[in-house]
Every structure is written in structure tokens, then in C-alpha cells.
Chains A and B, each alone.
Chain A
């Protein structure tokens, strides 16, 4: 694990997490949360946990985002905070 790659991806992860909880549109939250999950997947691939990485890529970044977008379309995009 090169610490530079690890640090850059971790910083991106924290930015994605902060953006996902602070935007005022739930569809943007869904997409930023997908980006967060993908950054997490990269982090695990860097750490050598390849099985965890591809499970996260398919299940976390794929299925979760689909669930999220489906739930947002069945409810409202508006949020107050």
C-alpha cells in the first residue's frame, strides 16, 4: 500500500461523505453516496482485500444506488437540511 494513494483516496472518501450528507437534493445524495461507495471499493483494492472490493463494487455501489434512486422516485426529492 503506497501511503500517497491511500491518503488521496481517503480524502476523496471524506469529501464525498460530507457532500452526501450536506446537499439539499436527495437525488444528488444518491449519486454522491454511490461515489462514496466506489471510493471505498478502491480503498479496499489498495489494501489487498480484493474479495471485499468487488463485493462492495457490485453490492454497495451498484445495488444500494439502485435502491436509493428507486426510493427517491417513490418519495420526494425535497429536503430541508
Chain B
């Protein structure tokens, strides 16, 4: 027990990301309102993006912009780049695409929800299902 506890505490951010992901999954599965389901989907997506961005983080590193690379250095060995000094920018770039995709999905899903409301006058899943069986 005494050796497991430090591992759990040291990775606290991963546990909190898992909690966020489970909140999103719960909202998607058990909420009855369609818009609440969409909020759950977005929470799920952002928690996964958060996980990926946190993988690229390094302690004692700065943001990925190269210092002295804009013509103000005179000796060439000032330009030697140590990768350990910079946060890994690859997950950032990948997750930038994922954010834009998630907003596009959210917009399309909201448009579909508006069309469903115009047709059935409700956003609750069980009422829509009742209307569908009546027809």
C-alpha cells in the first residue's frame, strides 16, 4: 500500500482526466435531453484532448519557440537547440485540429437538434421515441 500511494498521487492529473471522461460518458448515456447529451460528448472530447496535450509537457521546459533565432545572435553555437528545453509541440498541433473538428461536430449536432425540435416539439429522447411509435 505504501508504495502504491505515491504512484497514484504523482499521476493525479491522469486520474482527474479519467473522472472528466467518465462525467462525459455518463451524460451521453443516461441524460434524457438531446442537448445535455451533446454537452457530454464535448466534455468527453476535451478530456481526451487534455490527456494528449499533457503527454507533451516537460518539467523545466519553456514554450516551443526557439530563443535567439531571429537574427540577434552572432556566434553560431548560440543556435544549438536542446530538445529538452522545449515542450513537445507535436501533440499541440494534432489537438488543434481536434478542437476545430469538435466545434464543427457540435454545430452540426445542434442544427440537427433544432430540426428535431421543429418536427416533434420536444428535445427529450423518450418523448421523441413515443411520437415515433405513434406514427
Interface of A is mostly: helix
- Assess whether A80 is in contact with B103, with CB atoms less than 8 Å apart: no
Q: How large is the interface on B (under 10, 10 to 19, 20 to 34, 35 or more residues)?
A: 35 or more
With an 8 Å Cβ cutoff, the count of chain A residues facing the other chain is 43
- Assess whether B57 is in contact with A47, with CB atoms less than 8 Å apart: yes
Interface of B is mostly: helix
- Give the contacting residue for B32; candidates A14, A36, A48, A81; CB below 8 A: A81
User: Interface readout for B14-47 with A: 1 if CB under 8 Å, 0 if not?
Assistant: 0010011001101100011101100110110010
Instruction: List 21 A-B residue pairs with CB atoms under 8 Å apart, sorted by A's residue number.
Output: A1-B59, A3-B12, A6-B13, A11-B16, A17-B23, A21-B43, A26-B35, A29-B35, A47-B53, A48-B63, A52-B49, A52-B99, A55-B100, A59-B103, A67-B110, A75-B35, A76-B117, A79-B33, A80-B32, A81-B31, A81-B32
**New contact pairs (9) apart from A48-B63, A49-B87, A81-B36, CB-CB < 8 Å:** A21-B43, A26-B35, A52-B96, A52-B99, A55-B100, A59-B99, A60-B99, A67-B107, A75-B35
